[in-house]
Amino acid sequence: MTLDLRQLQIFRAVHRLGSVGQAARHLNLSQPAVSKTIKRIEEELEVPLFERQARGMVPTPYADSLAVHAELVSSEMDVAVETIRAMRGLSKGTVKVGATPSIISGALPKAIDQLLARHPGLSVKLVEGIEDQLLPPLLKGEVDVVVCGQMRRTLTLPVVTQTLFTDQVCVICSPDHPLRSTRAPALSDMLDYPWVLPGAENVMWRRLSDVFTMAGLKPPVATIETGSATFMKRMTERGDYLTFLSRTLTHDEERAGRLAVLAPSLTSWNRDVVVVRRAKGTVSRPAAALIATLGEVLHEIGINDASG
């Protein structure tokens, strides 16, 4: 059988809202029309999609499975529309991109600014999160592409990755931090100072923890825990705090003499930053234009790209 786009739209609304009534109001349809469509889909598929309960429509595993594909179909139709608009000169359209905090606080704002200056009719939808949080929206079609650190997990998912550049993550401090006067500060010396760090679920924290653990030391304990990379930088500038950040993120502050790298040989971590897209389907031209512009910005500020 073939489900048409109208049926998929109605199904998605009921699945998302959990109510025939709410779906009908959302789509400006009558409740009987929505109920009839759901029943017809169930008859065609020969499976129950929802359990009708007093508290609403509870999706069955069949419905959850169908919803994944329905969302992708809807996303691909959005891409098709965006592509046709883009063929008229990128005058309209929406760039839907997910990115990690280091990318959002680093080069991405400059890339978005340049893109919108070239194509003022575009708009941007930005989703921020750590790597693991960004993959579900990508797979559901809620974002077109994700820019994040390379993950082993992507090897098991229906996605394609393209290396954008290699980033260096280091212990960062203020230029006049006491440990800067020591030619070769040891890891144990760093434990005598306060740290501003993300939560333990963050990939950078896990990497830093591994460095200390492999040296037979307890990992640093965050005096201040925050998910804000901007706040990490501001606190580190102000005193004797240490943090662990991407140098793409600290590029401007290092050039201005407000931040510095501490003992890079001990703790530095080179990681590939990649663009991740769904293996099936296409990337909208607005999203492709943003990625190209991001590459230009990285080149301008001297960040090494994948092509060397």
Residue extents of the structural domains in the chain: 5-68, 72-166+272-300, 167-271
User: Could you tell me the CATH superfamily of domain 72-166+272-300?
Assistant: Periplasmic binding protein-like II (3.40.190.10)
Largest Cα–Cα distance in the chain? Answer: 77
Is 296 or 173 the better-scoring residue by pLDDT? 173
In 154-268, the DSSP E strands lie at 159-173, 195-197, 222-225, 243-246, 260-261
Residue 272: alpha-carbon gap to chain centroid: 15
Looking at the chain, the whole-number percentage of residues with pLDDT higher than 70 is 92
**Cβ–Cβ under 8 Å, residues 129 and 268:** no
Supply the CATH classification number for the domain 5-68.
1.10.10.10
CA distances from 72 to 18, 141, 276 (A): 20, 5, 16
Helix axes 5-17, 20-27, angle to 10 degrees: 130
Indicate whether 308 pLDDT > 50. no
The pTM of this model reads 0.60
Is residue 213 within a helix (H) or strand (E), and if so which, with residue range?
A: helix 203-214
Higher-confidence residue of 175 and 87: namely 175
Architecture in CATH of 167-271: 3-Layer(aba) Sandwich (3.40)
CA distance 145 to 96: 7
Per-residue pLDDT of 133-156, as tens digits, reads 888 888 888 888 999 888 777 777
Contacts with 219 (C-beta within 8 Å, 6 or more apart), sequence order: 208, 209, 212, 213
For residue 196, the model assigns a pLDDT of 96
| Domains 5-68 and 72-166+272-300 in one fold | no
Q: pLDDT at position 289, please? A: 86
Q: Mean pLDDT across the stretch 98-117?
A: 85
The Cα-based distances of 252 to 179, 222, 230, 282 in angstroms read 22, 25, 12, 34
State residue 4's pLDDT score: 78
